[in-house]
Amino acid sequence: MLLKKVSRALAAAGLLGAGLAGCGGGADASSASATEKAAATVAVATTPVATRVVDGPLRNALVCLDANGNGACDSGEVQGRSGADGHLTLQMSSTIVGKYPLLAVVGTDAVDGTTAVATRFVLMAPADQAAVVTPLTTLVQAWAELAGSTTAVAAAAVQSAAGLAVSPLKDYTGATDAASVRAATLARLLVLAQQQAASALKAGVVGQKDFNGVVATQADLDKALRYALVDALPSLGAVAAATAADTTLTAATREAALLAAAKAAIGADLKLDAGKVLTLIGASKLPLDAAAGTKLAGGNLRGFTFSDANNWFFRANLSTAADNTPGADGTVRYYSRFERNAAGKVSDWGFHGDSARAGDLHWNGTAWSACPLGTRSTQKPQTGTRWTYSYCAGMEQGASWHSSVDVSDKTLLEVVMRLRGFPGSADGVPYAQWGPSDLKLLGTTAKFPTGAKLQFSTGFATATAPAYDVQGSAIATAYTAAVAAGGDARNGAKVACGAVTPTNSATYKTTPAKLEDLVAVSRGTPCIYGTSTNADGTSLARNEWWSNSTVSLGKATGAMAQPAGTGNYYTTTALLRVAFGTTGNATTYYKCLERTSDGSTRNCTQIGKGTYAIATLGDARVMSFTDLPLLSQRQGWSRVLVQRGGKIYFGYQNRVGAISSQARLNLTAANAVFGQLKISPLTPQ
C-alpha cells in the first residue's frame, strides 16, 4: 500500500510540486520501513525556482510549467501568480526543474506596471532560462521550437534578426542605456502586435473549425501569433530601432507610435487573416511524416499553372531511388526542376522562378556557387519527424517538417480546389490560381490513383547566404564625381549635374571597380531642377534628382502617395536608397519618389541611419548594412553589394527566420494531374 502511495506522490510531485506535503490517509506510516520513509520524503522534496514576468513589471500574471506543451496552464501543472514587480517563486520537484518551458498567461485581471491589462496575451521562457519571462524570451522559445535548436543558438539568432545589442534573455527593465531601451521598445511592440492581432482574429479563429474541421482553441491562436512574430521580427525590429532612437517622443507619443505600428503590422508584416490562421492551424495538427528515406524515386509538385498545352509552368522537387537511400548519417537528397512552356517553347532550369536568374551565384562557405539543374540539395533527420535541410549547397539552411493526406480515389477537381484554398503562394504562383485556369480540364469524375497524397510542408530558415545576379543589368554604375556632387541647377546655374538628361546620362556614368569608389560618389547630394511638366503631370516645385548620389536598396510597391497636384508624374512605388557619410562607415537611408516616365529617383526623404561593413568572401568583397529601415525589411531580403572581378554587383541576402508553409502533390498525384492535362510525366533522373 505504501509503495502505491509513494508512486502517486512521485507523480503528483512532478506536476504539483510543493502542493503535497505528505501522503495522507491509509496505512499507519509508523509501521513503514526506513527505506519506504526515505522514498516518500524524496518524492515530495521541492526546489524553489524564482522568476520575473515583465513587459513592464506584470502583476497577477498566471505562470506555469507547460508540462504537456498545450499552451495553457492546466490545473495539474506547477503554477502561481506573479506579485509586486512581476516576481514569483515556483516550488517544484527537482525532477522537472529545467525540463519544461514557462508559460505566463497575462489576463485582463493582471496589471502591467501601473496599468490594467486591456487585452489578454501570453509570454514564454525556455525551460533552461527561467529567471525572466518577457516578450523577447517568448521569441527565443518560439525560435528554438521552430528550429529544434538550443536556447543559446535561438537567443543569438533572435538578437541578430532583431538587430539588438543585448541578449533577448536579459531583463531590460529599469536600464537606461540605448541598447536596453531599444530592447524594451521592441518588447513593448511585440506585446502590442500580439494584442492587436489577437483582438482582430479571435472571433474568426477561436471556436471556428480549422482546415481539418477541428475547432480551433485560444492556445492554437496564441501559438500561431508567436510564430508570426518570429517571422516578422526583422520588420518589427526596424520599427523599434527607429522609435527608440527618436528622442523627441514622450512616453505617451511613443506608446501611440508603437500602437499604430502594431496595427499596421497585422497585414503588412504578420500577414495574417482568420482564414489563413485556420488553414495553418489545421495543417499543423496533421500527423507528421517520419523523417526517413523511402529508398524509392519520389518528388512533389509545388507551384503549377496551366493555360493550354503550349503555355504552362511548374516547379517540382525530385529524387531518384539513389537520392532517397539514406547515407550513414541519414542524409537524403533532392533537386529542384523549374520548367516553362511559353508558346510551345519548353525550357527548364534549376534555380529561381525567373529563368533569367538561373545563374545567380551565392557564397556556399568556400566558393561562389550556382545551382544548375540537377544540383542536389540535402535533408537530414533531426528527430523522428523533423529534418534539417541545406538548399542549393547552402543558399538556405533550416529546419522542416512535413505531413500528408491520402487522396487516393478523390477527384482531381476536389483536391485542386482544396489546394486553391491554401493561403499564400508557391514559386510565384498564388494557390488561388494553382492548376489549370480552366478547371473543366480536370473533369468531374477523374480520380487520383492509389498512393496519391496531398502534402503539407513547413520550413524555417535559420541561415542564408549572400548572393548576386550575374547579368549585366545587375552591375552597379555611378555618376562622375562632378555630377554626384549635385547642386542647384535652377535659373541657369552652371553645375555639372544640370547638363545631364535622360538621353545623355550614359555619357556621365562610370563602372566602379571597388566598393570604396562607389561610396566616394554616393554622398546623398541631389541635383535640384526647376518644376517640370510632361504628359504624366507636374513635378513638385523643388524638383530633386537623387539618382546621381545614392545607391539602390530595392523598392516598395504602393508605399508612396502621389503628391497633390502632380497627377501621375510620380508612381506609387517607393524607391529605397542609401548614401554614405564622408567619414567612417555611416549610412543614411531614404525613401524616394519614382518618376513615371523613366523611373528616375526624385525627392528623397530620410527614413533611417545605420552603418555598413565589408567582408572578404573568397575572391569577392561584400558590403552589408545594419539597421535597415522598415520598408527595406518588408522586401524579405536585404541588399548586399558584391565586388568581384573588377565590378560591383547588386546582391541580396534572404531573410533568416522566415517561415514558409506550402501545400504540394506527391509524385503519384502530380503525374495524375499531368496525365489529365497531357503533360509529360515527371521522371526523377
| String of DSSP letters for 665-681 | EEHHHHHHHHHHHTPPP
Task: Report the length, in residues, of the chain.
Answer: 685
Question: What does the pLDDT read at residue 456?
Answer: 96
Burial code (b: 16+ CB inside 10 Å, e: under 16) for 136-175 equals bbbbbbbbbbbbbbebeebbbbbbebbbbebbbbbbbbee
Which of the four pLDDT bands, split at 50, 70 and 90, describes residue 384? confident
The mean per-residue pLDDT over the stretch 212-220 comes to: 95
pLDDT tens-digit readout, 314-369: 999 999 999 999 999 999 999 999 999 999 999 999 999 999 999 999 999 999 99
pLDDT averaged over the chain?
A: 93
Q: Kind of pairing, strands 527-529 and 537-538?
A: unpaired
Which of the four pLDDT bands, split at 50, 70 and 90, describes residue 18? very low
- Please name the residues in contact with 4: beta carbons below 8 A apart, sequence gap of 6 or more: none
pLDDT tens-digit readout, 69-116: 999 999 989 999 999 899 999 999 999 999 999 999 999 999 999 899
The mean per-residue pLDDT over the stretch 453-467 comes to: 97
Task: Judge whether residue 423 has pLDDT over 50.
Answer: yes
Question: What does the pLDDT read at residue 44?
Answer: 57
- Please name the residues in contact with 31: beta carbons below 8 A apart, sequence gap of 6 or more: none
pTM: 0.91
Task: Judge whether residue 32 has pLDDT over 90.
Answer: no
Question: What does the pLDDT read at residue 131?
Answer: 96
Q: Say which residue, 37 or 553, is predicted with more confidence.
A: 553
Q: In angstroms, rounded to a whole number, what is the distance separating the alpha carbons of residues 347 and 336? A: 14
The mean per-residue pLDDT over the stretch 611-631 comes to: 98
Question: What does the pLDDT read at residue 492?
Answer: 83
Task: Judge whether residue 8 has pLDDT over 60.
Answer: no
CA-based nearest residue to 564, from 537, 546, 543, 544:
537
pLDDT tens-digit readout, 494-534: 999 999 999 999 999 999 999 999 999 999 999 999 999 99
DSSP assignments along 488-518, one per residue: E-GGG---GGGG--TTTGGGGEE--SSHHHH
DSSP 463: E
Which of the four pLDDT bands, split at 50, 70 and 90, describes residue 246? very high
The residue type of 26 is G
Task: Judge whether residue 38 has pLDDT over 60.
Answer: no
Question: What does the pLDDT read at residue 43?
Answer: 52
Task: Judge whether residue 140 has pLDDT over 70.
Answer: yes
SS3 226: helix
The mean per-residue pLDDT over the stretch 283-291 comes to: 91
Question: What does the pLDDT read at residue 29?
Answer: 36
In Å, what is the CA distance from 166 to each residue of 184, 479, 626, 658? 11, 40, 15, 22
Burial code (b: 16+ CB inside 10 Å, e: under 16) for 194-230 equals bbbbbebbbeebbeeebbeeeebbbbbbbbbbbbbbb
Task: Judge whether residue 565 has pLDDT over 80.
Answer: yes
**Residue 666 bridge partners (DSSP):** 300
- 612: enclosing H helix or E strand: strand 601-617
C-alpha cell at 261: 505600428
Task: Judge whether residue 191 has pLDDT over 60.
Answer: yes
The mean per-residue pLDDT over the stretch 656-662 comes to: 96
Task: Judge whether residue 617 has pLDDT over 60.
Answer: yes
Burial code (b: 16+ CB inside 10 Å, e: under 16) for 551-590 equals bbbbbbeebbeeeeebbebbbebbbbbbbbeeeeeebbbb
